[in-house]
Amino acid sequence: MRGWLRSDGRKGIRNTIIVTYLVECAHHVAREIVRPFEDEDVHLIGFPGCFANLYAFDMMERLATHPNVAGVLLVSLGCEGFDRSGLARRIEATGRPVRTLVIQREGGTRKTVDAGRAWVRATCDGNAALPRVEMGIDELVVGTICGGSDGTSGLTANPAMGNAFDRLVEKGAACIFEETGELIGCEHHMAGRAVTPELGAEIIKAIDKAARYYGLLGQGSFAPGNAEGGLTTIEEKSLGAYAKAGTVPIDGMIKPGTRPPSGGLYLMDVVPDGELRFGYPNINDNAEIVELIASGCHIILFSTGRGSVVGSAISPVIKVCANPLTYRRMADDMDVNAGRILEEQAGIEDVGAEIVQLVERVADGERTMSEALGHREFILNYKTFEPVGPACLPKSAA
């Protein structure tokens, strides 16, 4: 595999320019800047809120300095609470080209769009000459998520992705599974796999927090579509979601934006800390994908039984379809047909090996189906998190 070497020593598998709006009022202008570049690696991301939030700032910093990102254009209205100067300084310190356009200073929509397009064009032309270097699997960070789950998800796609995680961890990669709200009932199983008793206790606390959080909301992470697809309880859904974690020891628990300190398997706690303030932890699957990317994921494995079509900005999404009927109906959106397991045409190990091979090819430049279709979904919410404690990352303290 080959990637692009960044100043912090990490390597990216894409060389993407991101155009970032810092408030919803700048969204349209940023989208217009990106529009002529839809056939190039120029992606639109942003934060809609007008009021400052440390989580949002930290997430935007980690996304803007992600190894897949080669340059950043910040688009500000001018009166929002986001610390645009602070973000620009953090990006500039990494050696990436960065520019900030303030619509109120530039003179309005047309002038800002013209200035933005000129900067993006020049930056794309300059980045095209950046050399690629050799990159090993042990330098990859891979995330996993399930969405549009049905009764087949926990039987085919999720355990196949878990098998792929086992293989990737064995090769030295860092792998992240997430959504503590969809692991309720599996906490003691995960604690038993933790590399230290202290980490196991932290995992149980995180799942208990998720159960309390959803209890206060009056609705758990169980959608009507899950029931229509044959799932009956959150515990049943959790067992399927847990299968994504494979069988290797759990090396740590992180929060959105925390980067794994080394290869291994990590659980991401996505439920905010403190009192209930901001509503649902993640209002759709792409919010979780963004958090995985902010923690350094080069690639996201996405299992779906009912059939999700989303991709993401910044990092490619590999779709693993659990249901053979869904795959036949939506093959143009899917990368891997794990439904073959259900039809006894392949085993879990076969599909796991296929996923790992595809990860390697995508890391080397092959486009996923969602990339080919132009899917670049993105969403970022308000949240609050406390830093992870030493028990959560025992390997980094060793």
Neighbours of 27 (CB within 10 A): 17
Joined tokens for residue 389: 């404690």
Digit-by-digit pLDDT tens for the chain (398 residues) are: 999 999 999 999 999 999 999 999 999 999 999 999 999 999 999 999 999 999 999 999 999 999 999 999 999 999 999 999 999 999 999 999 999 999 999 999 999 999 999 999 999 999 888 899 999 999 999 999 988 778 888 999 999 999 999 999 999 999 999 989 889 889 999 999 999 999 999 999 999 999 999 888 887 665 565 656 565 565 666 677 899 999 999 999 999 999 999 999 999 999 999 999 888 888 889 999 999 999 999 999 999 999 999 999 999 999 999 999 999 999 999 999 999 999 999 999 999 999 999 999 999 999 999 999 999 999 999 999 999 999 999 977 65
Greatest alpha-carbon pair distance for the chain in Å reads: 63
Distance between CA atoms of 11 and 18, rounded to whole angstroms? 17
Instruction: Tell me, letter by letter, the H, E, C secondary structure of the chain.
Output: CEEEECCCCCEECCCEEEEEECCHHHHHHHHHHHHHHCCCCEEEEECCCCCCCHHHHHHHHHHHCCCCEEEEEEEECCCCCCCHHHHHHHHHCCCCCEEEEEHHHHCCHHHHHHHHHHHHHHHHHHHCCCCCEECCHHHCEEEEEECCCCCCCCCCHHHHHHHHHHHHHHCCCEEEEECHHHCCCCHHHHHHHECCHHHHHHHHHHHHHHHHHHHHHCCCCCCHHHHHCCCCCHHHHHHHHHHHHCCCCECEEECCCCCCCCCEEEEECCCCCCCCCCCCCCCCHHHHHHHHHHCCCCEEEEEECCCCCCCCCCCCEEEEECCHHHHHHCHHHCCEEHHHCCCCCCCHHHHHHHHHHHHHHHHCCCCCHHHHCCCCCCCCCCCCCCCCCHHHCHHHHC
71 with 127: CB under 8 angstroms? yes
User: Residue 228: its pLDDT value, please?
Assistant: 62
29 with 75: CB under 8 angstroms? yes
387 with 274: CB under 8 angstroms? no
Distance between CA atoms of 33 and 235, rounded to whole angstroms? 45
Joined tokens for residue 138: 């042990």
Residue identified by tokens 């028990």 is 391
Residue 150 CA neighbour count, 13 Å, CB half = 17
Domain 2-133: CATH superfamily is Response regulator (3.40.50.2300)
76 with 88: CB under 8 angstroms? no
Distance between CA atoms of 120 and 97, rounded to whole angstroms? 10
Pairing mode, if any, of strands 98-102 and 336-337?
A: unpaired
User: Residue 398: its pLDDT value, please?
Assistant: 57
| Domain boundaries defined on the chain | 2-133, 137-397
